[in-house]
Amino acid sequence: MKVRSTTIIGVIKDGKAALGGDGQVTLGNTVMKHNSTKIRKLLNGKVLCGFAGSTADAFTLLERFEEKLEAFSGNVSRAVVELAKDWRTDKYLRRLEAMLAVITQDKAFIVSGNGDVIEPEDNIVAIGSGGMYALAAAKMLKKYSNLSAKEIVEESLKTAADICIYTNDRITIEVIE
């Protein structure tokens, strides 16, 4: 049975970064949990990481990412590239079905199992079932409003929850100021 879950959205604006996610976990056509937390603070709160996909796989990748952060003295750009390399080439990691969104005060990345490391030009990252709905909302809110990064993340997640059946409105948001 295919596991579907999550909307993760991150925004950097005015020197502040916010990363948020919904709480829904779905198995097939059944909601299994409403209040899951899919956002983690890393490196003493300097890095935020959100995950989408298979939960066990996501936790494995999150642990590997933390190891890379430590190995490269907190250099997030290097850590995401090295994680993607391992993910792509390691026999065990290659089978993991998840994605990571990573955000700092000034950088945002999406890391996938295909070896992709994407650093969006507009400093907005989105992954998961409702990610593209939240992304569209965040782009417009960032461009045409005076909302803070946290407010943009919150409103974008609410928009995704209104549209995507795999996203709910039980939102967790973490901020780096």
The SS3 call for residue 141 is helix
Residue 35, Cβ density class (10 Å: 0-12 exposed, 13-18 middle, ≥19 buried): exposed
Residue type, 156: S
> What are the residue numbers of the active site?
6
Q: Which amino acid is at 107?
A: K
In a 13 Å sphere around the CA of 89, the CA atoms on its Cβ side amount to 6
Q: Which residues pair with 3 in a beta bridge?
A: 27
Helix (H, G, I), strand (E, B) or coil at 116: coil
User: Residue 105 in contact with residue 15, Cβ under 8 Å?
Assistant: yes
Closest CA to 86 of 59, 117, 108: 117
